[in-house]
Amino acid sequence: MKTKLGIIGYGNWVKDSYIPAIKYDGRAKIVAISAKSDDTIATIKKEYGCSVTVYSNYNDLLYSDNVDAVMIAVPDAMHGEIIMEAIQSGKPLFYEPPIGHTRSLIAEVLKKLHSAPQITHANLELGLIPVISRAAEMIKAKRIGDIQSIKVSLRSNWGPEPNQDTNVINRLSLWYVHIINILLDASPKRVLLLDGYGVIGRRQNQSSCIFDYDGIWGELKININSVDKLVINIEAIGSEGEILIDILTGELKVRLMNEEMINFFPAKQPYADWPGMRESITHFLDAIENFIPSFFNSDLVAKLQTIGLATEASKDTGNWIKLQEY
């Protein structure tokens, strides 16, 4: 029997990513969708007819007896409220970071997630793409010698986000610090935000953050107001060479003193709009079927979000911030 999914939100991310990934997997069916606007509700009814129940109030979807599991894809400012309501429903939950749009709300949602009895799965899809696991294996095997630093660079034309309560590194750290952690098989001990440039509020257009992994340096460099549409690259520097990764294509380039190799380890093809989305939804459904915790559970999210909040403290003080266990 297929898992019956209810989806809260019906924007482009749902239509271009969730729905194709669910269809590719084949083990679940969408039985309910919640949307706010009359136009969106009319569109859903036109596209799905009687096969999907449409709700204007997401609480009605959460507590529907016909829904086995819930997926949330709404604007950032609605994440925290709906995640906490979904936890109350007790149903397996797939949700998008960030878990809150303010620093105080992040802390509140973390407490709810930590005590949640059900499967919770944060959509940290980039942690599942093959090029990352392959690069981690090579670093562990010292293919480029002793690792010295890893830099993740993201450039996009997503544009300024004024009047925000969190900085841009915190906003994106769950995905990209997670990648550095996987590559180094470690968590940072302290962080230093180099701040940057932006608009009114805490959200910079450009910013960098340094992460200290006991003398191995991680760096996350973000520019959301770039001339580039989207570029996400990783550079791992070792004592004997370097590894260069293109997240979007899965290209992995190894450069040694007398040798250069290029291979491709892309996410499942065709992409459901974004690399790793098919893998992420498959992992969520695996957890439901096998009654096991998701890899992207609340413990992992708490560790990553603690790092993100430390960047806020570093922004305020201009100093290194030591990380505490959540």
pTM above 0.85, yes or no: yes
Please report whether residue 144 resides in a domain.
yes
- The reported pLDDT for the residue numbered 197 is 83
- The reported pLDDT for the residue numbered 325 is 65
Please report whether residue 225 resides in a domain.
yes
Tokens of 220: 């996350």
Name the helix (H) or strand (E) containing 7. strand 3-8
Tokens of 269: 């093809």
Q: Are residues 12 and 136 in the same domain?
A: no
- The reported pLDDT for the residue numbered 149 is 98
Please report whether residue 145 resides in a domain.
yes
Distances (CA, A) of 285 to 17, 94, 133: 16, 10, 21
Please report whether residue 275 resides in a domain.
no
- The reported pLDDT for the residue numbered 85 is 97
Q: Are residues 151 and 26 in the same domain?
A: no
Q: Are residues 92 and 141 in the same domain?
A: no
Residues 6 or more apart in contact with residue 182 via CB below 8 angstroms? 127, 132, 133, 136
Q: Are residues 134 and 119 in the same domain?
A: no
Q: Are 102 and 165 in contact (CB under 8 A)?
A: yes
CATH code assigned at 185: 3.30.360.10
> What DSSP designation does 233 have?
E
Q: Are residues 92 and 189 in the same domain?
A: no
- The reported pLDDT for the residue numbered 156 is 98
Q: Are residues 310 and 182 in the same domain?
A: yes
- The reported pLDDT for the residue numbered 275 is 97
Q: Are residues 33 and 55 in the same domain?
A: yes
Report the domain count for the chain.
Answer: 2
Phi-psi group of 279: left, alpha or beta (phi > 0 → left; psi -120 to 50 → alpha; rest → beta): alpha
Q: Are residues 73 and 152 in the same domain?
A: no
CATH code assigned at 31: 3.40.50.720
Q: Are residues 95 and 154 in the same domain?
A: no
pLDDT tens column, 78-105: 999 999 999 999 999 999 999 999 999 9
> What DSSP designation does 17 have?
I
Dihedral of alpha carbons 299, 302, 307, 308, sign: positive
Q: Are residues 95 and 227 in the same domain?
A: no
Q: Are residues 291 and 315 in the same domain?
A: no
Please report whether residue 17 resides in a domain.
yes
Please report whether residue 245 resides in a domain.
yes
Domain interval for residue 168 = 127-270+304-322
**What residues of the chain score a pLDDT lower than 50?**
none
Q: Are residues 26 and 42 in the same domain?
A: yes
Please report whether residue 206 resides in a domain.
yes
